[in-house]
Copies of this chain bind each other. A is one copy, B any other.
Amino acid sequence: VTKLSGFPEFLPAGRAVEQHVLDHLRRVFELHGFANIETRAVETRETLLRKGEIDKEVYVVQRLHAAEGESTSGGAPAESEAHGGLALHYDLTVPFARYVLENSNDLAFPFRRWQIQRVWRGERPQQGRFREFTQADIDIVGRGSLPFHADVEVAEVMAEALAGLPIPALTLQVSNRKVLEGFARGLDIAEPTSVMPVVDKLDKLPRERVLTELQAVGLSESQADAIVDLAAISGGGAAVVERVRALGVHHPLLDEGLTELAAVVDGVHAADGVTVVADLRIARGLDYYTGTVFETRMAGYEQLGSICSGGRYDQLAADRRSTYPGVGISLGVSRLLVPLIADGLTASRSVPSVVLVSLVDEDARDDAADVARRLRARGISTEVAPKAEKFGKQIQHAEKRGIPFVWFPSDGSVKDIRSGEQTPADPDTWDPPPADLTPQIQEIHK
C-alpha cells in the first residue's frame, strides 16, 4: 500500500483540526445569512472548458466499459457521453454559475451562498498544489445588477471567518482592476488588458524583467515605468489613493476604481490576525474579474502563494434573459491546512470521547452502558471499554487516544488520567472542565 501523491488524507487528529476549521467557517458564513449549497462533483466538459484556460488540468470521468471501448461499438452514446462527456469540477465557481442558471426561477436574488467541497485538478503535484483538495467559497450573485457593497461584504465575512482560525497571521490584499485599467488608459496604453498578466508576475520576477516584458507587449519605457510604479503601491485605503494621485495620471475609470478600492479596504473591520491592505501588484491573471480583486498571504508560508482569492465579475453567468454579476472569495482549505498539519497543528485527542467507561467484566456491561447513556444525554461524548481487561490496559486504551477521563462504575468514581486525580462522581451531574468537552486545537508556534 503506497500513498497517492497529490491526494492528501489526514489521520483522525488532523481531520479533527480540519473539522474545527470547517465548523468555524460555516458558523461565520451562516451568522451572516449565507445559504449553503452543494453541487455535483461532475460537470459536462462543455461547461468546464468554456473558460478555456485550465483544460490541461481537467480529470475526465467515464464508466469503465465506456473507457474500454463500449461507447465506440456502435450503440448510441450514453447520456454521460453527451456534451463532451463528464469531468470533475476544478473549482466551485463554474459549478455555481451553472447552478444559478439551472435554478434561476427558484432562487431569490441577490443570492448569497457558501459552499465547501472538494475539487480536482490533474496538475503535477508540488508544494501546496494538490490533485484533490477542499475549497470554501462565498459568493453573492445578483440578477441584472448587484450593488457595489457586496464587494465589501464578501471581504468582511471572509476576514471575520479567517480571523477565528488557529493559523498564522494573514494579509488580505485588495486591488481593483479598474485602477490598473484606468491608469493604463490614462497613460494612453492601447491594450490595457495585456498589462494585467505581466503585472501579475511582479511577485516572481525582478522589476527589470517585468519592465522588459511590458515593453514587449507594446508599452513605451515611460509607460512601463509608470505601471511598475503603480504596482509598487500598497497600504491603507486613503494613503494608497493619495500615492496613486501623486503619479499624476487621470482617467474616469481610475477614479471609479480608487473609490471602490478605498471603500473595500476601509470598509472591512479590523479582525484579529487579519490585516487588510490595498496592494496594486494584485492583478489576478484571470480574465473574468472586472473590479475588486483579492489575494491572501500567510506569514511564514509565503511560498504557498495566495491561500484565499477572488473578486468581482460583472458576468458570472448569463442566459437569454439576464446577466448575473457576482463577487466571491475562495479559501484553499487544503492549501492552508496540509502544510500546517504537517508542521504540527493538531488536536488534543484523536477521538471525540471525553470519558472512557471501564468494564470489570462482561456482566457489568449493562451498568457501564447505563453510565455512558446518562453522560451522553448531557452532551458528554463517552465510549465504553471494548472488553473487560485489566484496568491498567483500559487506562492505556484511553491514553493512546487522548481521552482525558476514565469512569469506574463499580465504585462510582472518575479519574483524570493526566493528573491521576480520582473523585466520586454521579453521571447525572458530573461535568468535565469546559475545555475538555471537545478536542482542543493545539496551534504551532514556529
Query: Which residue numbers of A lie inside 8 Å of B, CB to CB?
Result: 1, 3-5, 7-12, 15-16, 19, 30-42, 44-45, 55-67, 79-80, 86-88, 98-99, 101-103, 106-108, 110, 112-113, 118, 120, 122, 131-132, 142, 146-147, 149-150, 319, 350-353, 365, 376, 379-383, 386-387, 397, 400-401, 403
Partner of A106 from the list B5, B11, B131, B403 (CB cut-off 8 Å) is B11
- Give the distance to chain B from A82, nearest Cβ to Cβ, in Å: 9
Contact call B36/A120, Cβ cutoff below 8 A: no
Contact call B79/A376, Cβ cutoff below 8 A: no
Partner of A381 from the list B3, B31, B62 (CB cut-off 8 Å) is B31
| A397 CA / B142 CA spacing, docked (Å) | 13
Known contacts A42-B4, A147-B387, A381-B30; A55/B64 CB under 8 A = yes
| A40 CA / B338 CA spacing, docked (Å) | 14
- Give the distance to chain B from A130, nearest Cβ to Cβ, in Å: 10
Contact call A7/B64, Cβ cutoff below 8 A: no
Contact call A41/B112, Cβ cutoff below 8 A: no
Contact call A99/B9, Cβ cutoff below 8 A: yes
Contact call B64/A62, Cβ cutoff below 8 A: no
A39, A44, A60, A87 interface centre (most CB from chain B within 10 Å) = A60
Q: A142 — nearest CB in chain B belongs to which residue? A: B386
Contact call B38/A9, Cβ cutoff below 8 A: yes
Q: A62 — nearest CB in chain B belongs to which residue? A: B60
Partner of A350 from the list B19, B57, B88, B108 (CB cut-off 8 Å) is B108
| A269 CA / B247 CA spacing, docked (Å) | 77
Partner of A5 from the list B79, B386, B400 (CB cut-off 8 Å) is B79
Known contacts A31-B379, A32-B376; A9/B64 CB under 8 A = no
- Give the distance to chain B from A44, nearest Cβ to Cβ, in Å: 8
| A102 CA / B106 CA spacing, docked (Å) | 45
- Give the distance to chain B from A235, nearest Cβ to Cβ, in Å: 23
Contact call B9/A40, Cβ cutoff below 8 A: yes
- Give the distance to chain B from A366, nearest Cβ to Cβ, in Å: 9
Known contacts A15-B37, A64-B56, A64-B59; A31/B79 CB under 8 A = no
| A337 CA / B386 CA spacing, docked (Å) | 33
7 contacts across the A-B interface (CB closer than 8 A) = A3-B102, A31-B352, A32-B376, A33-B352, A33-B403, A108-B350, A149-B386
| A108 CA / B80 CA spacing, docked (Å) | 42
| A168 CA / B132 CA spacing, docked (Å) | 37
Known contacts A56-B64, A64-B122, A88-B61; A10/B31 CB under 8 A = no
Contact call B132/A40, Cβ cutoff below 8 A: yes
| A12 CA / B220 CA spacing, docked (Å) | 52
| A58 CA / B68 CA spacing, docked (Å) | 12
- Give the distance to chain B from A3, nearest Cβ to Cβ, in Å: 7
| A380 CA / B79 CA spacing, docked (Å) | 45
Q: A11 — nearest CB in chain B belongs to which residue? A: B106
Known contacts A40-B9, A59-B64, A79-B5; A352/B101 CB under 8 A = no
| A131 CA / B42 CA spacing, docked (Å) | 10
| A1 CA / B31 CA spacing, docked (Å) | 32
